[in-house]
Amino acid sequence: MMKYHTKLTHWLHESPLAPYADAFSEYLSLNNYSASTVSHYNRCFAHFSYWINTNDIDIHKINEGVIKHFLDEYFSCCISKHKICSDEYHNFHAALNHILIVLRVNSIISFPSAIKSPVDKELKSFDDYMNDVRGLAPRTRHEYLRIIQRLLFERFSNHSVVISMFKPDDVRQFIFNQKNLYTTQSSTGLLISALRGYFRFRKTCGDQVNHLVGVTNFPANWQLSSLPKTLNHDEIECLLKAIEHDSQSDLRMKAMVHCALDLGLRSCEVANLGLDDIDWSNAAIILKKTKSRRVDTLPLPEATGHALADYLKFERPKNLRNRAVFIRHYAPFEKPVDPNIVRQTIHKAYALAGLPYSRSYLLRHTMASRLLETGSSLKEIADVLRHRSLNTTMIYAKLDSRNLVEVALPWPGRTS
């Protein structure tokens, strides 16, 4: 271990980045990163420094492109030697992004230019359209932009975007080239939705795109063909016991699970919940940042209220300027959680309960199923889940065993 540490120290001392090693460590410490994370990021810094020195790269030219070049080259070697782990790439990427911040604060490298390429400008216009006109959720917009960015960059690179240059065969070829990235019906549907959405946007700009829309056909998919997966009564009880009594559980996890299970909140809605959104006197929660962009008010169940109150009283840091309910446990501290952290936390709750599940949306389905069992109508469930269309809620009709029995036809050959 000492030999390895000595080698890293040598790499740093021999690198032109050596004068900024202490500034990098100090920056991480000031942002409350743990000692183990600082140590790991410093090792990433040393590896990058060695690569910079070996390839004779001017530190004043370090930017996002250089970072990507390093990651691609470094991890291609690691993969060939079977030394890569699942999270190592993301750890390196995070560490190197912090290096860029330190170098820019110290005026070693410049901040990204405000000048955008034609493709960047086109993507910005498309994003504004999806946000302002169609009202799509941030995650959906992000996925669409990734797809359209590949489409436009392959065709135009850094030149002006001219939609009339697209031919139907170009679109067909692009869809074919994406087959390794989109292998299921749902993922292929995402690809097609992004393309059709972009061409609809271009149509509002006055372009003739009907011939392009015509070749973006959705894969065969039968609506409402599947059953929504839910937790049964035993699994619900097992989950609630795990987050209530397991010594490894935390109060934030318990509150998140109750928000999803008792209220049917999406991960993004749990993450966006603010202290001012909880009306304690009237036992209600006001949802402002929802997928449908409406302001909705839901009753606050007693179990959910107790879980939130315990977390706010005993675990959430005090005297924060941030008004988000759920705060990160890891650096950067005092920042609100994002939807991915909510999903990971619920996944952890499943693991504590010994349940073989991972998707947080399972709790939303379970909540709808429980409402059905208590006699709620599909319209009432649609209101609670805040669906804009009753057709979205119709899939839960397959779980309504009580009413399905009454309309079931006798088996052929039998009188009843």
Residues 174, 203: one domain? Answer: yes
What percentage of residues in the chain have a pLDDT greater than 90?
A: 49
Return the SS3 of 334.
Answer: coil
Task: Determine the pLDDT at residue 4.
Answer: 41
Q: List the CATH number of the domain containing 210.
A: 1.10.150.130
b/e per residue, 108-144, with b = 16+ CB within 10 A? bbeeeeeeebebeebbeebbebbeeeeebbeebbebb
Give the other-Cβ count within 10 Å of 25's Cβ: 17
Instruction: From 188, 215, 242, give the residue that closes a domain.
Output: 215
Q: Identify the burial level of 220 via C-beta atoms within 10 angstroms of its C-beta, where 0-12 means exposed, 13-18 middle and 19 or more buried.
A: exposed
Average pLDDT over residues 236-246: 86
Same domain? For 393 and 262 the reply is yes
Cα–Cα distance between 46 and 52 in angstroms, integer? 10
Query: Does the pLDDT value for residue 308 go beyond 50?
Result: yes
Does pTM surpass 0.85?
A: no
Residues 155 and 61 both lie in one domain: no
Q: What's the confidence (pLDDT) of residue 415?
A: 60
Most confident of 164-168, 226-230, 367-371: 164-168
Answer whether residue 361 is part of any domain: yes
CB 107 within 8 A of CB 20: no
Q: Residues 51, 153: one domain?
A: no
Q: Quick check: is 220 in a domain?
A: no
- For residue 228, pLDDT beyond 90: no
pLDDT digits (tens, 9 = 90+) for 275-303: 999 999 999 999 987 766 778 899 999 99
Domain presence at residue 327: yes
316 and 360 both lie in a single domain = yes
* Boundaries of domain holding 177: 118-215
Residues 22 and 140 in one domain: no
Q: What is the pLDDT of residue 82?
A: 44
Provide the residue count of the chain: 416
Close Cβ partners of 407 (under 8 Å, ≥ 6 residues apart): none
Say whether both 31 and 129 belong to one domain.
no
What CATH number has the domain bearing residue 51?
Answer: 1.10.150
**Residue where a domain stops, chosen among 152, 180, 215:** 215
Q: How far apart are CA 290 and CA 294, in angstroms?
A: 6
Assigned domain for 42 exists: yes
Residue 124 inside a domain? The answer is yes
Q: Render pLDDT for 33-80 as a digit per residue (tens, 0 to 9).
A: 888 888 889 889 988 999 998 899 999 999 988 998 898 888 776 544
On whether both 355 and 379 belong to a single domain, the answer is: yes
Percent helix, percent strand, percent coil in the chain, to nearest 5: 60, 5, 35
pLDDT band at 399 (very low <50, low <70, confident <90, very high): low
Residue 5 pLDDT class (50, 70, 90 cuts):
low
How far apart (Å, rounded) are the C-alpha atoms in residues 80 and 84? 9
pLDDT over 60 at 379, yes or no: yes
Indicate whether 76 and 147 sit together in one domain.
no
How many domains does the chain fold into?
Answer: 3
Of the three residues 159, 188, 215, the one that is the final residue of a domain is 215
- Res 271 pLDDT > 70: yes
Contacts of 200 (CB under 8 A, 6+ apart): 209, 213
Do 339 and 264 sit in the same domain of this protein? yes
Give the other-Cβ count within 10 Å of 36's Cβ.
8
| 272 plus 399 within the same structural domain | yes
Q: Are residues 80 and 133 in the same domain?
A: no
Residue 292 CB-half CA count within 13 A: 13
